[in-house]
Amino acid sequence: MWRIIIAGFLAVLAIAAVQTYWVVNSYSLAEKTFDEKVSIALRNVAEQVSQLKQVQLPSQKLITKVSQDYYVVNIKDAIDATDLEFYLQAELEKVALRTDFEYGIYDCSSDEMVYGNYVDFQDGSTSKRETILDRYDDYVYYFGVRFPDRKGYVLNNQWLPLLFTALLICAILFFLYSIYEILKQRKLSDLQKDFINNMTHEFKTPLSSIKVSSEVLMNDERIADNPRLKTYAGIIQDQTQHLSDQVERVLQIAGVRKGEVALTQDFFDVHDLIRNVTDQVRNSTSNVQTEIRLHLTASPSGIKADQHHLKNVLHNLLDNSIKYSRARPIIDIKTSRSNGHVNLSIADQGIGIAKNQISNITNKFYRVPTGDVHDTKGFGLGLHYVQNIIDAHGWKWDIESDLGKGTSITLKI
């Protein structure tokens, strides 16, 4: 459980790191693209001004980036503000840099930046601003251009990385919420398991007392001579045994989790175990009409497994075959050996299982729907237990069933 959570967190952190790296690089690339577009546009403006003024442009340091959003262009002659504004709008449009800008021209006589206008690219309007652009002392004749909305423009062109980042944040929040819910459900499951363990153990003591008492009654000569009392004593004994079996089954499931079954594997003869289990089933007073036919042909018949759990598996499978038979239960148990495996098959002639229900019968507490008729008792835990024991041993099993004809279950040991 914790390994899955830790692996999930590491995966999320890795994805977040990759996403962060991508977003940072994408933003850096967008800023670089912005600077390149500005440089191209300002160089073209400088060339047009030089042609207009018939002056030669400096071979070095034509454009200087003073700050993140402020650029100055070195021109060797005085500049007309109207011409400059026209050239700036035209060249920025050519490089698809549609963002507001403000410009100013340095006046060497007053040692100030003058003729500044703010150009709104959305409606094409211009306006005077009180803000004065910073001087750049290295040039004599130059103009400066500032892009006050530079950061907003770059971010607007980053909508796709930002969208994926938002989706990733949502996914991480959902993942954290899922982990919280899983841990909460696990805690509730542990509480439920502890409650079932305590409850069933509390049941076992009075049930043992009732069972012993019922056996004493059945062996009493006075009860044996009275048919009516003997019937009642038999009912008490049968129902006590039935309730004990159900409590034992709940305890089996409460103590078993997939991948957490502690096995004690010994080498024994599976045929001896089958005969022992079938004798117990035949001798049960509630199964006197059951016919169990053995076809034990596996040779050799020795296997290495947990004898206690395999015995419980056989009891569960036989109990299902008996419960889901319409009339007199007839069960065939067969063994054979092939490809190094012992195949143990239990087949009945009961009511069978619909094809679309077979995949669900090993789910915990699942009962095959029978409409409004509930004449078969149980918790839906037997086959769930069987599935866990088979998985713990690393075995395989097959279930074949025809509705109305019976079911055959084969364990490949």
Give me 270's structure tokens: 């599976």
Tens digits of residue pLDDT in 346-400: 998 888 887 777 777 776 666 665 544 445 555 566 788 888 888 888 899 888 8
pLDDT of residue 345 exceeding 90: yes
Give the residue-averaged pLDDT of 81-92. 88
Residue 137 has a pLDDT of 80
Contacts of 413 (CB under 8 A, 6+ apart): 270, 303, 305, 341, 342, 343, 344, 393, 395
Task: Name which of 70-84, 234-248, 339-353 the model is least confident about.
Answer: 234-248
Residue 372 has a pLDDT of 42
Question: Amino acid identity of 12?
Answer: V
pLDDT of residue 335 exceeding 90: yes
Question: Amino acid identity of 276?
Answer: N
pLDDT of residue 127 exceeding 90: no
pLDDT of residue 149 exceeding 70: yes
**In a 10 Å sphere around its CB, with 0-12 CB exposed, 13-18 middle and 19+ buried, how is residue 252 labelled?**
buried
pLDDT-based confidence at 139, cuts 50/70/90?
confident
**Contact (Cβ atoms closer than 8 angstroms) between residue 383 and residue 408:** no
Domains of the chain by residue range: 2-156, 159-254, 265-412
pLDDT of residue 254 exceeding 70: no
**Contact (Cβ atoms closer than 8 angstroms) between residue 182 and residue 198:** no
Assessment of whether the complete model's pTM goes beyond 0.95: no
Task: Name which of 64-73, 126-135, 292-301, 404-413 the model is least confident about.
Answer: 126-135
Q: What is the spatial distance between Cα 174 and Cα 180, in angstroms, rounded to a whole number?
A: 10
Q: Which residues pair with 126 in a beta bridge?
A: 119
Per-position b or e across 190-223, b if 16+ CB within 10 A of its CB: eeeeeeeeeebeebeeebeebbeebeebbeeeeb
Q: Which fold has domain 265-412?
A: Heat Shock Protein 90 (3.30.565)
- Greater confidence, 246 or 147? 147
Helix extents (H) in 261-306: 270-283
Tens digits of residue pLDDT in 163-193: 888 888 888 888 888 888 888 888 887 777 7
pLDDT-based confidence at 258, cuts 50/70/90?
very low
The beta strand positions in 22-69, using DSSP E, are: 63-67
